[in-house]
Chain A
């Protein structure tokens, strides 16, 4: 059985991030949600805490975190920012800078990663297209070699961080079809700076996590240099999953943080709030769901960190790709649903205030809802787990 134990450094980092967030982040969440923006000075403060692209090698401005340590930061941001906006800002960059750092060229990494670690750029991911979510094989965006350069055409949507890239610079790790006959086997991954001519960005409105932008972009005859190719040409489909798995495991930690914080809010409330002459925490109708949610989120937390630990073990050759995929998918499959169930009950305990805009838990509920979809829907997670249990001949899409 694979187990993990937090090191003293990791416990210290958790405490440090918690203290930092209590002073610098939580008091500003309401303002952030209202203004629909993470203030730049807060992003710079995150950079000072070395929380941006933290797995990246120090050579490119990172701190060389392992995956478990990156998960700790995700959990703490999930606790501290009940809209999850900063958690999304953090985890998207952390995951895709992780992949970029691992497979990108020195020239491209040197240009784009150090500003992102300083809070002066954003690194995102762009795979989804209109009508194409998990079914990547049918995407329409193409990348075509043209001498020493490549031409990209197509469209991406539901992409986090488009406004942040417009404001600060940076770009998105993007996937497109290069060999049009080869399906998923002909895809190439590359870094697409969104400031290039031929890119037209639009923004969407979402039901939650409003301080981080979501939108899309049209790509019309955009030229990128060869150095922007990430990994080998036409092998993008295989390596993009490493970024997704990293992101999914951190999302599970963010959900744990959000749900545990909400349960703590609920515990304080049900001890104080009286109904029919006693605190409502004395009623089994409140106690039983509290016990169940606490148990489930504790189990989820263990599974989430186990998934991250396996990502670390894979680097040492001690866990296989498939084992990592399965464990991550197990955590991602349940994380948002279980967190939503917990937060939903905390809202219910608070009566009408639970539905009030001033109640942090309703914002957490709206935020966590996104994680049933983001970085791979819970349904796709189930197909991954089933694939590992039944064998590849049972893959749904073949």
Chain B
């Protein structure tokens, strides 16, 4: 079984601050991390490989500047078998349309996977578009918002989040799944032995020549959307906090407050 996990390096948004005068994000000095949704997808991929046994393989795939290598090295330390970084000036400035085109081409070039796992979304853009677009470009079925994946032969059984709870769906492989961690997910931190093993695993950097796509359709030139401005929304006042009493009392107070506002 072959699993490709798409991984993005993002600024650690817990460290991003807002310029109080301009309202724009200050990215200077902000450390880069692996997108947390992608880390969950990767750990799911590694878990599925362990369960499958045999010649199963997990490939971590990323697109980004050369510095994105560190996210892939972490993926290797977390258990991926090999890693590919798509890095080329022509990939730069891509929106989700151009990114999914590039990643889909790389998936084809890396060989037919049984599963493609993506994080639900990246914490810098929050679009949640790239995964589904890759599935569309590869003509694969997709399941989004997956919290748990089990394999039953060539079928993946997926527990996915919905607005009202969970639903369990089945999909025939090959398929693409976007993943979101359950509340109790604790991301792994690799120890030194895993880090030193990661350095010995295959790691490749691919340019545009490897994926056989016209350069004009990639990167900024291939992107129909562009970011005009990034800013922080105006701060809202803190809401009313109901606390310090029993759940039943708080529920009653909440009901009355909502009724008073005409919401209920």
List residues of A whose CB falls within 8 A of some B CB.
Answer: 8-9, 11-13, 15-17, 19-20, 23, 48-51, 54, 63, 65, 69
Task: For B70, list chain A residues within 8 Å (CB).
Answer: 8, 11-12, 15
Known contacts A12-B70, A12-B73; A63/B186 CB under 8 A: no
Distance between Cα atoms of A9 and B74 in the complex (Å): 10
Task: Name the one of B187, B192, B193, B199 contacting A19, with C-beta atoms under 8 angstroms.
Answer: B187
> Complex Cα distance A48/B193, Å?
11
Q: Which B40-93 residues have a C-beta within 8 angstroms of A?
A: 70, 73-74, 77
Which B residues are closer than 8 A to A by beta carbons? 31, 70, 73-74, 77, 186-187, 189-193, 195-196, 198-199
The chain A residue with its CB closest to the CB of B78 is A16
> What are the 6 tightest A-B residue pairs by CB atom distance, in nearest-first order?
A20-B189, A50-B191, A16-B189, A12-B195, A63-B192, A19-B189
A16 touches B199 (CB 8 A): no
Residues of chain A with a CB closer than 8 A to B199's CB? 8-9
B191 touches A23 (CB 8 A): no
Decide if B190 touches A16 in the complex (CB within 8 Å).
Answer: yes
Can you offer 29 A-B residue contacts whose CB atoms are under 8 A?
A8-B73, A8-B199, A9-B192, A9-B196, A12-B73, A12-B74, A12-B198, A13-B195, A15-B31, A15-B74, A16-B74, A16-B77, A16-B189, A16-B190, A16-B195, A17-B189, A19-B187, A19-B189, A20-B189, A23-B187, A23-B189, A49-B191, A50-B191, A50-B192, A50-B193, A54-B192, A63-B191, A65-B192, A69-B192
Contacts of A20 in B (CB 8 A): 189
Question: Within the assembled complex, what's the spacing in Å between the Cα atoms of A16 and B187?
Answer: 11
Q: Min CB distance, B152 to chain A, in Å?
A: 32
CB neighbours (8 Å) of A16 from chain B are 74, 77, 189-191, 195
Kindly report which residue of chain A lies nearest to residue B189, judged by CB atoms.
A20
In whole angstroms, what is the CA distance A8 to B189 when docked?
16
Is A49 within 8 A of B73, CB to CB?
A: no
Measured CA separation A9–B70 after assembly (Å): 10
A65 to B70, CA, bound (A): 21
Q: How far is the CA of A196 from the CA of B61 in the complex (A)?
A: 56
B77 / chain A contacts, CB cutoff of 8 Å: 12, 16
Q: How far is the CA of A166 from the CA of B191 in the complex (A)?
A: 28
Cβ of B191: which chain A residues have Cβ within 8 Å of it?
16, 48-51, 63
**Chain A proximity of B200: nearest CB distance (Å):** 11
**Among A9, A15, A63, residue most surrounded by chain B Cβ atoms (within 10 Å):** A15
Closest to A69 in B: B192
Task: For the complex, give the distance between the alpha carbons of A65 and B77 in Å.
Answer: 17
B31, B186, B193, B198: the one contacting A23 at CB < 8 Å is: B186
Measured CA separation A13–B73 after assembly (Å):
11
A48 to B198: give the CA distance in the assembly, Å.
Answer: 17
Q: What is the distance, in angstroms, from B62's C-beta to the closest C-beta of chain A?
A: 16
A227–B173 CA distance with the chains assembled, in angstroms: 61
Bound-state CA distance A49–B195 (Å) is 11
Q: List residues of chain A with CB within 8 A of the CB of B195.
A: 9, 12-13, 16
Candidate in B74, B77, B191 with the most chain A CB atoms within 10 angstroms: B191
